[in-house]
Amino acid sequence: MERVIAIVGGTGAEGMGLARRWALAGETVIIGSRDEGRAAERAAEIARAVPGARIQGRENAAAVAAANVAVLTVPFTSQASTLQGLKSAFQPGTVLIDTTVPLAATVGGRATRTLGVWQGSAAEQAAELVPKGVVVAAAFHSLSAELLKDDKPADCDVVVCSSDETARRTAMELAEKIPGVRAINGGPLEMARLAEQLTALLIAINVRYKVHAAGLRFTGLPVPPSE
């Protein structure tokens, strides 16, 4: 079965970066948005830049209904309401890759701090909100929009956390579709509470060193970085 990726909230910088990278890798991508017209415009931008790209734009629910992989790229304050609104759109067996980070900045606090989540992490909250049969992985917390915005290799590891093997494998495969990225198995979904903290740490490092694209590499592992 062909893999079709819906990027929910895909008109933002992170969603657009992932959409472009996966389009370049030959994946079939649907950019989702609350505004179908805006989604179509953003998809057309990528289609012009990536000849032969299999990409289109749809309203979020229509995008999810047409896909077997959904990638959530919305702010934490919109996560719950977005997923609740999409419950009837998910196909059984869909893989949801949650990129959400509960940054304090989403409620007026500092971007270098995270909020406490009752379920333990944003990804675990997502797993409670999706219909039965939808499997969840947490990923892409350390891969910034700045690293995704051009076609250069992204010098970064991506930690993937999931308690479902299909979801973990899918997220790791998609991470390594991006040149330079190495996917790291971070263990079960409960470990997402630690992976999500990496975003706040990287934001603090970016500010301190006056850069915009700090990433992470884990040393001493038997798997080399992707070419």
Domain-embedded: residue 118: yes
| pLDDT, average across residues 133-149 | 94
The rounded mean pLDDT for the chain is: 91
Tell me if 161 is assigned to some domain.
yes
Residue 96 lies in a domain: yes
Structural domain includes residue 222: no
pLDDT for residue 224 is more than 80: no
pLDDT, tens digit (0-9, with 9 covering 90-100), for 161-209: 999 999 999 999 999 999 999 999 999 999 999 999 998 888 889 889 9
What is the rounded distance in angstroms from the CA atom of residue 73 to the CA atom of residue 18? 10
CA distance 189 to 69: 17
In a domain, 17, yes or no: yes
For the domain that residue 102 is a member of, what is the CATH number? 3.40.50.720
Which residues span the domain enclosing 128? 4-209
Question: In the chain, what is the straight-line distance between the N-terminal and C-terminal CA atoms, in Å?
Answer: 27
Please report which helix (H) or strand (E) contains residue 70, including its range. strand 69-72
- Whether 226 shows a pLDDT value over 60: the answer reads no
Residue 112 in this model has a pLDDT that exceeds 60: no
218 domain-assigned? no
Instruction: Give DSSP secondary structure letters for 153-198.
Output: ---EEEEEEESSHHHHHHHHHHHTTSTTEEEEE--SGGGHHHHTHH
Q: In this structure, is residue 227 part of a structural domain? A: no
Q: Taking residues 122-151, report their average pLDDT.
A: 93
Q: How many domains would you assign to the chain?
A: 1
